[in-house]
Structure 1
Protein backbone atom coordinates (compact mmCIF):
# COMPACT_ATOMS: atom_id res chain seq x y z
CA UNK A 1 0.00 0.00 0.00
CA UNK A 2 1.39 3.37 -1.03
CA UNK A 3 0.59 5.88 1.71
CA UNK A 4 0.76 9.67 1.59
CA UNK A 5 0.61 11.96 4.61
CA UNK A 6 -0.63 15.53 4.15
CA UNK A 7 -0.33 18.34 6.67
CA UNK A 8 -1.02 22.04 6.23
CA UNK A 9 1.93 23.46 8.13
CA UNK A 10 5.59 22.76 8.80
CA UNK A 11 4.88 22.29 12.51
CA UNK A 12 2.38 19.54 11.73
CA UNK A 13 4.80 17.80 9.37
CA UNK A 14 7.84 18.04 11.67
CA UNK A 15 7.07 14.86 13.69
CA UNK A 16 6.95 12.81 10.47
CA UNK A 17 10.09 14.37 9.01
CA UNK A 18 11.89 13.58 12.27
CA UNK A 19 11.08 9.88 11.78
CA UNK A 20 11.69 9.72 8.01
CA UNK A 21 14.58 9.59 5.58
CA UNK A 22 13.81 12.13 2.86
CA UNK A 23 15.03 10.92 -0.54
CA UNK A 24 13.60 13.58 -2.89
CA UNK A 25 11.91 16.96 -2.57
CA UNK A 26 9.95 19.12 -5.00
CA UNK A 27 8.00 22.35 -4.49
CA UNK A 28 5.20 23.86 -6.55
CA UNK A 29 4.06 27.19 -5.13
CA UNK A 30 3.24 26.56 -1.47
CA UNK A 31 3.11 22.79 -1.91
CA UNK A 32 6.10 20.74 -0.75
CA UNK A 33 6.16 17.08 -1.79
CA UNK A 34 8.79 14.79 -0.32
CA UNK A 35 9.49 11.18 -1.18
CA UNK A 36 10.62 9.43 1.98
CA UNK A 37 11.35 6.13 3.66
CA UNK A 38 9.18 5.87 6.75
CA UNK A 39 9.11 2.77 8.95
CA UNK A 40 11.02 1.00 6.24
CA UNK A 41 8.39 1.77 3.62
CA UNK A 42 8.22 4.38 0.84
CA UNK A 43 5.77 7.15 1.70
CA UNK A 44 4.98 10.59 0.33
CA UNK A 45 4.98 13.57 2.70
CA UNK A 46 3.03 16.62 1.54
CA UNK A 47 3.01 20.05 3.18
CA UNK A 48 0.08 21.78 1.49
CA UNK A 49 -0.11 25.26 2.94
CA UNK A 50 -3.14 26.56 4.80
CA UNK A 51 -6.69 26.58 3.45
CA UNK A 52 -9.03 24.61 1.21
CA UNK A 53 -7.55 25.65 -2.12
CA UNK A 54 -3.96 24.90 -1.13
CA UNK A 55 -5.12 21.55 0.24
CA UNK A 56 -6.99 20.65 -2.96
CA UNK A 57 -4.07 21.73 -5.17
CA UNK A 58 -1.63 19.72 -3.06
CA UNK A 59 -3.85 16.64 -3.19
CA UNK A 60 -4.22 16.88 -6.95
CA UNK A 61 -0.45 17.27 -7.47
CA UNK A 62 0.16 14.34 -5.13
CA UNK A 63 -2.25 12.04 -6.92
CA UNK A 64 -1.21 13.00 -10.44
CA UNK A 65 2.49 12.53 -9.65
CA UNK A 66 2.53 9.65 -7.15
CA UNK A 67 -0.81 7.76 -7.28
CA UNK A 68 -1.12 6.90 -3.57
CA UNK A 69 -3.51 4.18 -2.40
CA UNK A 70 -4.38 6.02 0.82
CA UNK A 71 -4.05 9.59 2.04
CA UNK A 72 -3.71 10.39 5.74
CA UNK A 73 -4.35 14.00 6.77
CA UNK A 74 -2.79 14.89 10.11
CA UNK A 75 -3.09 18.23 11.84
CA UNK A 76 -4.78 20.61 14.24
CA UNK A 77 -8.40 21.69 14.67
CA UNK A 78 -10.69 23.84 16.76
CA UNK A 79 -13.07 22.01 19.10
CA UNK A 80 -16.84 22.46 18.98
CA UNK A 81 -17.95 19.27 20.71
CA UNK A 82 -18.77 19.23 24.41
CA UNK A 83 -16.08 17.72 26.59
CA UNK A 84 -13.22 18.18 24.15
CA UNK A 85 -10.01 19.72 25.48
CA UNK A 86 -6.78 20.96 23.97
CA UNK A 87 -4.70 17.92 23.04
CA UNK A 88 -7.65 15.58 22.45
CA UNK A 89 -7.69 13.83 19.07
CA UNK A 90 -10.65 13.37 16.72
CA UNK A 91 -10.72 11.02 13.73
CA UNK A 92 -13.14 12.28 11.09
CA UNK A 93 -16.00 9.97 10.13
CA UNK A 94 -17.73 12.58 7.96
CA UNK A 95 -16.84 15.96 6.46
CA UNK A 96 -19.08 18.93 5.62
CA UNK A 97 -18.18 22.47 4.56
CA UNK A 98 -19.08 24.72 7.48
CA UNK A 99 -19.18 27.98 5.50
CA UNK A 100 -21.01 27.05 2.28
CA UNK A 101 -24.60 28.24 1.90
CA UNK A 102 -26.59 27.58 -1.26
CA UNK A 103 -29.79 26.78 0.60
CA UNK A 104 -31.74 29.33 -1.46
CA UNK A 105 -31.36 26.90 -4.38
CA UNK A 106 -32.62 23.97 -2.35
CA UNK A 107 -29.24 22.60 -1.32
CA UNK A 108 -28.46 21.49 2.22
CA UNK A 109 -26.35 23.68 4.54
CA UNK A 110 -22.71 23.08 3.68
CA UNK A 111 -23.43 21.61 0.25
CA UNK A 112 -21.53 22.94 -2.73
CA UNK A 113 -23.99 23.08 -5.67
CA UNK A 114 -24.00 19.88 -7.72
CA UNK A 115 -21.74 18.16 -5.19
CA UNK A 116 -22.53 15.81 -2.27
CA UNK A 117 -24.04 17.36 0.84
CA UNK A 118 -21.52 15.49 2.98
CA UNK A 119 -18.57 13.18 2.53
CA UNK A 120 -18.54 9.95 4.52
CA UNK A 121 -15.08 8.52 5.03
CA UNK A 122 -14.36 4.90 4.20
CA UNK A 123 -16.16 2.62 6.68
CA UNK A 124 -13.62 -0.22 6.52
CA UNK A 125 -10.71 2.14 7.15
CA UNK A 126 -12.58 3.73 10.04
CA UNK A 127 -13.21 0.28 11.53
CA UNK A 128 -9.47 -0.35 11.37
CA UNK A 129 -8.81 3.02 13.01
CA UNK A 130 -11.19 2.07 15.83
CA UNK A 131 -9.37 -1.22 16.31
CA UNK A 132 -6.05 0.59 16.42
CA UNK A 133 -7.39 3.03 19.01
CA UNK A 134 -8.86 0.24 21.15
CA UNK A 135 -5.58 -1.70 21.17
CA UNK A 136 -3.33 1.25 22.00
CA UNK A 137 -2.56 2.92 25.32
CA UNK A 138 -2.99 6.52 24.23
CA UNK A 139 -1.70 9.44 26.34
CA UNK A 140 -4.62 11.56 25.08
CA UNK A 141 -8.37 11.15 24.63
CA UNK A 142 -9.55 10.09 21.17
CA UNK A 143 -12.99 10.34 19.58
CA UNK A 144 -14.61 9.87 16.16
CA UNK A 145 -17.15 12.14 14.48
CA UNK A 146 -18.15 14.96 12.16
CA UNK A 147 -15.50 17.49 11.12
CA UNK A 148 -16.28 20.76 9.37
CA UNK A 149 -13.93 22.55 6.99
CA UNK A 150 -14.18 26.33 6.74
CA UNK A 151 -11.98 29.27 5.91
CA UNK A 152 -12.25 30.99 9.28
CA UNK A 153 -10.43 30.79 12.60
CA UNK A 154 -13.39 30.25 14.91
CA UNK A 155 -12.69 32.68 17.73
CA UNK A 156 -15.92 34.71 17.73
CA UNK A 157 -18.61 33.21 20.02
CA UNK A 158 -21.54 34.44 17.90
CA UNK A 159 -20.19 32.80 14.74
CA UNK A 160 -19.42 29.61 16.64
CA UNK A 161 -22.98 29.41 17.95
CA UNK A 162 -24.38 29.83 14.43
CA UNK A 163 -22.22 26.99 13.18
CA UNK A 164 -23.17 24.75 16.09
CA UNK A 165 -26.86 25.43 15.58
CA UNK A 166 -26.55 24.46 11.90
CA UNK A 167 -24.33 21.42 12.51
CA UNK A 168 -25.08 20.24 16.06
CA UNK A 169 -23.10 16.99 15.67
CA UNK A 170 -19.81 18.75 14.83
CA UNK A 171 -16.78 17.70 16.86
CA UNK A 172 -14.06 19.97 15.44
CA UNK A 173 -13.33 22.22 12.47
CA UNK A 174 -10.27 22.56 10.28
CA UNK A 175 -9.33 24.63 7.23
CA UNK A 176 -8.07 21.92 4.85
CA UNK A 177 -9.61 18.50 5.41
CA UNK A 178 -12.53 18.55 3.02
CA UNK A 179 -10.40 20.14 0.32
CA UNK A 180 -8.27 16.99 0.52
CA UNK A 181 -11.24 14.63 0.76
CA UNK A 182 -13.14 16.20 -2.14
CA UNK A 183 -10.10 16.27 -4.44
CA UNK A 184 -9.20 12.67 -3.58
CA UNK A 185 -12.80 11.55 -4.16
CA UNK A 186 -12.50 12.64 -7.79
CA UNK A 187 -9.84 9.94 -8.17
CA UNK A 188 -11.46 7.32 -5.95
CA UNK A 189 -8.71 7.50 -3.33
CA UNK A 190 -9.71 7.14 0.34
CA UNK A 191 -8.69 9.59 3.05
CA UNK A 192 -8.46 9.33 6.81
CA UNK A 193 -8.11 12.53 8.83
CA UNK A 194 -6.62 12.76 12.32
CA UNK A 195 -7.13 16.10 14.06
CA UNK A 196 -5.76 17.20 17.42
CA UNK A 197 -7.52 20.00 19.28
CA UNK A 198 -5.39 23.15 19.36
CA UNK A 199 -8.09 25.52 20.64
CA UNK A 200 -11.72 25.62 21.80
CA UNK A 201 -13.89 27.39 19.22
CA UNK A 202 -15.52 30.54 20.55
CA UNK A 203 -13.69 30.43 23.86
CA UNK A 204 -12.84 33.88 25.14
CA UNK A 205 -9.18 32.97 25.52
CA UNK A 206 -8.67 31.81 21.94
CA UNK A 207 -6.14 34.00 20.16
CA UNK A 208 -3.53 33.55 17.47
CA UNK A 209 -0.93 33.41 20.25
CA UNK A 210 -2.75 30.63 22.12
CA UNK A 211 -3.03 28.61 18.91
CA UNK A 212 0.68 29.05 18.25
CA UNK A 213 1.51 28.08 21.83
CA UNK A 214 -0.41 24.80 21.52
CA UNK A 215 0.44 23.85 17.95
CA UNK A 216 3.69 21.94 18.41
CA UNK A 217 2.33 19.78 21.23
CA UNK A 218 -0.98 18.92 19.58
CA UNK A 219 0.75 18.22 16.26
CA UNK A 220 2.62 15.46 18.10
CA UNK A 221 -0.67 13.93 19.24
CA UNK A 222 -2.11 13.90 15.73
CA UNK A 223 1.15 12.54 14.32
CA UNK A 224 1.32 9.78 16.92
CA UNK A 225 -2.10 8.36 16.08
CA UNK A 226 -1.44 8.81 12.37
CA UNK A 227 1.76 6.84 12.88
CA UNK A 228 -0.19 4.06 14.58
CA UNK A 229 -2.44 3.95 11.52
CA UNK A 230 0.55 3.78 9.18
CA UNK A 231 1.95 0.85 11.16
CA UNK A 232 -1.37 -0.98 10.99
CA UNK A 233 -1.70 -0.47 7.24
CA UNK A 234 1.82 -1.69 6.45
CA UNK A 235 1.42 -4.67 8.76
CA UNK A 236 4.04 -3.65 11.29
CA UNK A 237 3.51 -5.49 14.57
CA UNK A 238 5.49 -3.21 16.84
CA UNK A 239 3.48 -0.41 18.42
CA UNK A 240 5.03 3.01 17.72
CA UNK A 241 6.16 4.75 20.88
CA UNK A 242 4.64 8.08 21.77
CA UNK A 243 8.00 9.21 23.13
CA UNK A 244 9.43 9.01 19.63
CA UNK A 245 7.22 11.96 18.70
CA UNK A 246 7.74 14.14 21.76
Structure 2
Protein backbone atom coordinates (compact mmCIF):
# COMPACT_ATOMS: atom_id res chain seq x y z
CA UNK A 1 0.00 0.00 0.00
CA UNK A 2 1.24 3.49 -0.86
CA UNK A 3 1.44 6.33 1.63
CA UNK A 4 1.73 10.04 0.80
CA UNK A 5 3.13 12.38 3.45
CA UNK A 6 2.80 16.16 3.20
CA UNK A 7 3.95 18.49 5.98
CA UNK A 8 1.26 21.18 5.66
CA UNK A 9 -2.22 21.16 4.17
CA UNK A 10 -1.43 24.50 2.50
CA UNK A 11 1.10 22.65 0.31
CA UNK A 12 -1.86 21.15 -1.56
CA UNK A 13 -4.70 23.08 -3.12
CA UNK A 14 -8.26 22.55 -1.88
CA UNK A 15 -8.92 20.54 -5.05
CA UNK A 16 -7.28 17.49 -3.49
CA UNK A 17 -10.37 17.15 -1.26
CA UNK A 18 -13.02 17.95 -3.85
CA UNK A 19 -11.76 16.39 -7.10
CA UNK A 20 -11.25 12.84 -5.87
CA UNK A 21 -13.52 10.58 -3.85
CA UNK A 22 -11.88 9.52 -0.63
CA UNK A 23 -12.65 8.01 2.74
CA UNK A 24 -11.48 9.97 5.78
CA UNK A 25 -10.13 7.80 8.59
CA UNK A 26 -9.67 9.37 12.02
CA UNK A 27 -7.26 7.74 14.44
CA UNK A 28 -5.20 9.02 17.38
CA UNK A 29 -6.29 12.60 16.55
CA UNK A 30 -4.90 12.16 13.06
CA UNK A 31 -6.84 12.47 9.80
CA UNK A 32 -6.00 10.14 6.93
CA UNK A 33 -7.37 10.46 3.40
CA UNK A 34 -7.79 7.03 1.79
CA UNK A 35 -8.12 6.83 -1.99
CA UNK A 36 -9.24 3.61 -3.67
CA UNK A 37 -9.38 2.92 -7.38
CA UNK A 38 -8.83 0.02 -9.77
CA UNK A 39 -5.09 0.67 -9.72
CA UNK A 40 -4.14 0.98 -6.07
CA UNK A 41 -4.94 2.09 -2.53
CA UNK A 42 -3.30 5.29 -1.32
CA UNK A 43 -3.32 6.88 2.14
CA UNK A 44 -2.44 10.57 2.49
CA UNK A 45 -1.64 12.33 5.74
CA UNK A 46 -0.36 15.72 6.86
CA UNK A 47 2.52 15.23 9.28
CA UNK A 48 3.09 18.72 10.59
CA UNK A 49 6.37 20.61 10.31
CA UNK A 50 9.71 19.36 11.60
CA UNK A 51 11.61 16.12 12.08
CA UNK A 52 9.75 14.78 15.12
CA UNK A 53 6.33 15.40 13.58
CA UNK A 54 7.44 13.81 10.33
CA UNK A 55 8.96 10.74 12.00
CA UNK A 56 5.93 10.26 14.25
CA UNK A 57 3.47 10.49 11.35
CA UNK A 58 5.59 8.12 9.25
CA UNK A 59 5.79 5.47 11.95
CA UNK A 60 2.05 5.70 12.64
CA UNK A 61 1.18 5.57 8.94
CA UNK A 62 3.32 2.46 8.37
CA UNK A 63 1.98 0.62 11.39
CA UNK A 64 -1.70 1.51 10.93
CA UNK A 65 -2.03 0.87 7.19
CA UNK A 66 0.70 -1.69 6.47
CA UNK A 67 2.42 0.76 4.13
CA UNK A 68 5.14 -0.63 1.84
CA UNK A 69 6.00 2.55 -0.09
CA UNK A 70 5.91 6.25 0.80
CA UNK A 71 6.19 9.41 -1.27
CA UNK A 72 6.88 12.67 0.55
CA UNK A 73 5.78 15.73 -1.41
CA UNK A 74 6.26 19.35 -0.43
CA UNK A 75 8.39 22.47 -0.65
CA UNK A 76 12.13 23.08 -0.34
CA UNK A 77 14.56 25.95 -0.27
CA UNK A 78 17.80 26.00 -2.24
CA UNK A 79 21.18 27.72 -2.28
CA UNK A 80 22.07 26.75 -5.86
CA UNK A 81 21.94 29.73 -8.27
CA UNK A 82 20.70 27.76 -11.29
CA UNK A 83 17.86 26.04 -9.44
CA UNK A 84 14.78 28.21 -9.79
CA UNK A 85 11.65 28.74 -7.76
CA UNK A 86 8.95 26.30 -9.00
CA UNK A 87 11.54 23.75 -10.20
CA UNK A 88 10.45 20.18 -9.47
CA UNK A 89 13.11 18.09 -7.71
CA UNK A 90 13.12 14.31 -7.35
CA UNK A 91 15.31 13.39 -4.40
CA UNK A 92 18.17 10.90 -4.69
CA UNK A 93 19.83 11.05 -1.25
CA UNK A 94 19.09 12.95 1.94
CA UNK A 95 21.27 14.10 4.84
CA UNK A 96 20.82 15.67 8.25
CA UNK A 97 22.27 19.19 8.28
CA UNK A 98 21.96 19.79 12.03
CA UNK A 99 23.43 16.58 13.51
CA UNK A 100 27.05 16.58 14.69
CA UNK A 101 28.38 13.69 16.78
CA UNK A 102 31.82 13.75 15.16
CA UNK A 103 33.41 13.90 18.65
CA UNK A 104 32.52 10.22 18.93
CA UNK A 105 33.90 9.38 15.47
CA UNK A 106 30.59 9.42 13.64
CA UNK A 107 30.32 11.11 10.27
CA UNK A 108 28.91 14.62 10.11
CA UNK A 109 25.12 14.31 9.95
CA UNK A 110 25.10 10.76 11.27
CA UNK A 111 22.85 9.95 14.20
CA UNK A 112 24.72 7.45 16.41
CA UNK A 113 24.38 3.90 15.08
CA UNK A 114 22.30 5.09 12.13
CA UNK A 115 23.25 5.57 8.49
CA UNK A 116 25.35 8.66 7.61
CA UNK A 117 22.85 9.45 4.85
CA UNK A 118 19.77 7.82 3.35
CA UNK A 119 19.46 6.83 -0.29
CA UNK A 120 15.90 6.83 -1.54
CA UNK A 121 14.36 3.99 -3.54
CA UNK A 122 15.84 3.68 -7.01
CA UNK A 123 12.90 1.61 -8.22
CA UNK A 124 10.19 3.94 -6.89
CA UNK A 125 12.10 6.93 -8.24
CA UNK A 126 12.31 5.23 -11.63
CA UNK A 127 8.56 4.69 -11.66
CA UNK A 128 8.08 8.38 -10.91
CA UNK A 129 10.56 9.30 -13.64
CA UNK A 130 8.58 7.18 -16.10
CA UNK A 131 5.38 8.90 -14.97
CA UNK A 132 6.93 12.36 -15.31
CA UNK A 133 8.32 11.58 -18.75
CA UNK A 134 4.96 10.23 -19.92
CA UNK A 135 3.17 13.41 -18.87
CA UNK A 136 5.85 15.94 -19.82
CA UNK A 137 6.76 16.88 -16.25
CA UNK A 138 10.26 18.38 -16.19
CA UNK A 139 12.26 17.49 -13.07
CA UNK A 140 15.79 17.51 -11.69
CA UNK A 141 17.33 14.67 -9.64
CA UNK A 142 19.01 16.20 -6.58
CA UNK A 143 20.20 15.51 -3.02
CA UNK A 144 18.46 17.08 -0.04
CA UNK A 145 19.38 18.17 3.49
CA UNK A 146 17.04 18.32 6.49
CA UNK A 147 17.15 20.44 9.62
CA UNK A 148 14.68 21.64 12.22
CA UNK A 149 15.31 25.22 11.07
CA UNK A 150 13.89 27.17 8.15
CA UNK A 151 17.16 28.03 6.41
CA UNK A 152 17.49 31.57 5.05
CA UNK A 153 20.23 34.14 4.53
CA UNK A 154 20.17 35.07 8.22
CA UNK A 155 21.09 31.61 9.51
CA UNK A 156 22.49 29.54 6.63
CA UNK A 157 26.09 29.90 7.86
CA UNK A 158 25.14 27.68 10.81
CA UNK A 159 24.47 24.89 8.32
CA UNK A 160 27.23 25.61 5.79
CA UNK A 161 29.18 22.42 6.38
CA UNK A 162 30.33 19.42 4.36
CA UNK A 163 26.82 18.03 4.01
CA UNK A 164 25.43 21.42 3.00
CA UNK A 165 27.81 21.34 0.03
CA UNK A 166 26.56 17.84 -0.92
CA UNK A 167 22.92 18.87 -1.22
CA UNK A 168 21.03 21.12 -3.60
CA UNK A 169 17.97 21.80 -1.46
CA UNK A 170 16.75 21.65 2.12
CA UNK A 171 13.58 20.98 4.06
CA UNK A 172 12.48 20.15 7.62
CA UNK A 173 11.14 16.58 7.24
CA UNK A 174 12.43 14.21 4.56
CA UNK A 175 15.55 12.78 6.21
CA UNK A 176 13.56 11.96 9.35
CA UNK A 177 10.98 10.18 7.18
CA UNK A 178 13.83 8.34 5.46
CA UNK A 179 15.30 7.22 8.79
CA UNK A 180 11.97 5.66 9.85
CA UNK A 181 11.45 4.08 6.43
CA UNK A 182 14.94 2.60 6.55
CA UNK A 183 14.20 0.92 9.88
CA UNK A 184 10.85 -0.37 8.59
CA UNK A 185 12.08 -1.56 5.17
CA UNK A 186 9.67 0.82 3.44
CA UNK A 187 10.58 2.22 0.03
CA UNK A 188 10.68 6.03 -0.11
CA UNK A 189 10.71 8.79 -2.71
CA UNK A 190 10.63 12.55 -2.31
CA UNK A 191 9.09 15.03 -4.74
CA UNK A 192 9.79 18.65 -3.89
CA UNK A 193 9.10 22.02 -5.49
CA UNK A 194 11.43 24.94 -4.82
CA UNK A 195 9.80 27.77 -2.88
CA UNK A 196 12.79 30.03 -2.13
CA UNK A 197 16.42 30.58 -3.09
CA UNK A 198 19.13 32.07 -0.87
CA UNK A 199 20.53 33.91 -3.89
CA UNK A 200 17.30 35.87 -4.29
CA UNK A 201 17.50 39.28 -2.60
CA UNK A 202 13.91 38.91 -1.39
CA UNK A 203 13.54 37.47 2.13
CA UNK A 204 13.12 33.68 1.97
CA UNK A 205 9.89 33.64 3.97
CA UNK A 206 8.43 36.23 1.61
CA UNK A 207 9.51 34.15 -1.39
CA UNK A 208 7.80 31.15 0.17
CA UNK A 209 4.57 33.03 0.82
CA UNK A 210 4.52 34.43 -2.71
CA UNK A 211 5.13 31.05 -4.34
CA UNK A 212 2.90 28.85 -2.20
CA UNK A 213 -0.38 29.14 -4.14
CA UNK A 214 1.23 28.15 -7.44
CA UNK A 215 3.30 25.43 -5.78
CA UNK A 216 0.25 23.93 -4.07
CA UNK A 217 -1.49 23.76 -7.44
CA UNK A 218 1.51 22.03 -9.05
CA UNK A 219 1.89 19.57 -6.16
CA UNK A 220 -1.82 18.74 -6.38
CA UNK A 221 -1.46 18.02 -10.10
CA UNK A 222 1.41 15.66 -9.31
CA UNK A 223 -0.65 14.02 -6.56
CA UNK A 224 -3.50 13.40 -9.02
CA UNK A 225 -1.07 11.82 -11.50
CA UNK A 226 0.09 9.44 -8.76
CA UNK A 227 -3.48 8.63 -7.67
CA UNK A 228 -4.49 7.85 -11.27
CA UNK A 229 -1.50 5.58 -11.94
CA UNK A 230 -0.53 2.20 -10.55
CA UNK A 231 2.77 3.71 -9.47
CA UNK A 232 3.92 0.45 -7.85
CA UNK A 233 3.03 -1.85 -10.75
CA UNK A 234 6.54 -2.16 -12.19
CA UNK A 235 8.36 -1.67 -8.91
CA UNK A 236 11.34 -3.88 -8.18
CA UNK A 237 13.12 -4.10 -4.88
CA UNK A 238 15.95 -1.58 -4.70
Bucket of the pairwise TM-score, normalised by the shorter protein: 0.7 to 0.9
Structure 2 match to 1:28: 28
Q: When the two structures are aligned, how many residues end up with a matched partner?
A: 232
Structure 2 residue 197 is the aligned partner of structure 1 residue 200: yes
Q: 1:88 to 1:81 in 2, by over 3 A?
A: same
Does the CA contact (< 8 Å) of 1:7 and 1:74 recur in 2? yes
Structure 2 residue 2 is the aligned partner of structure 1 residue 3: yes
Cα shift at 1:186: 1.4
Does the CA contact (< 8 Å) of 1:97 and 1:149 recur in 2? yes
Deviation sequence 1:99-139 (CA, Å, 0-9, x none): 1111122111111111100001112222223333333323x
Stretch of structure 1 that moved more, 44-53 or 32-41: 32-41
Structure 2 segments unaligned to the other structure (5+ residues): 234-238
Q: 1:154 to 1:61 in 2, by over 3 A?
A: same
In the aligned structure 2, how far is the partner of 1:207 from the partner of 1:221? 20
Structure 1 match to 2:76: 77
Structure 2 match to 1:244: none
Cα shift at 1:232: 4.9
TM-score w.r.t. length of structure 2: 0.86
Does the CA contact (< 8 Å) of 2:77 and 2:196 recur in 1? yes
In the aligned structure 1, how far is the partner of 2:200 from the partner of 2:111? 29
TM-score w.r.t. length of structure 1: 0.83
SS at match of 2:168: strand
Structure 1 segments unaligned to the other structure (5+ residues): 236-246
Structure 2 match to 1:96: 95
Does the CA contact (< 8 Å) of 2:76 and 2:171 recur in 1? yes
Structure 2 residue 178 is the aligned partner of structure 1 residue 181: yes
Structure 2 match to 1:62: 61
Deviation sequence 1:61-116 (CA, Å, 0-9, x none): 11111011211111001012331111001111001001111112211111111110
Q: CA RMSD in A?
A: 2.5
Structure 1 match to 2:236: none
